[in-house]
Amino acid sequence: MSDYPAAARRVRGPVAAHFLAHHALSPADAIDFAPKDRIERWWFDRFRRIGALREVAPGRYWFDLVAYHLDAQAFSKRWVPIAMGVSLAIAAVAMLFYRG
């Protein structure tokens, strides 16, 4: 996978790996796909929900890297401030127990 561009190397999940392996990254390169098990079904539904998997014909899909990364960026914007706040609260509580 090291020969993929950096944007493609940061994509997670078995469904995404399948689409990257088949280079299905544009409507012209769409491939047939049907999830084989419940884990693939979960990833497939998630990618469809965020708009990263696009259907061009019944059963033929392509992976939209831009939509995937826009969703990942939105996730970070939502959760990073929360994680920082929780970390600062834990540090503040830990400081209450400091005996110097």
CB 28 within 8 A of CB 60: no
Residue 10 has pLDDT above 80, yes or no: no
Residue 4 has pLDDT above 70, yes or no: no
Residue 2 has pLDDT above 70, yes or no: no
Q: Which among 42, 11, 39, 37 has a CA at the least distance from the CA of 24?
A: 11
Q: Give the model's pLDDT for residue 13.
A: 86
Strands, DSSP E only, in the chain? 31-32, 53-57, 60-63
Q: Give the model's pLDDT for residue 8.
A: 56
Angle (CA) 72-77-79 rounded to 5° is 90
Q: Which among 34, 58, 32 has a CA at the least distance from the CA of 45?
A: 34
Residue 1 has pLDDT above 60, yes or no: no
Strands, DSSP E only, in 7-98? 31-32, 53-57, 60-63
Q: Give the model's pLDDT for residue 11.
A: 77
Give the model confidence (pLDDT) of 14-63 as tens digits.
899 899 989 999 999 999 999 999 999 999 999 999 999 999 999 999 99
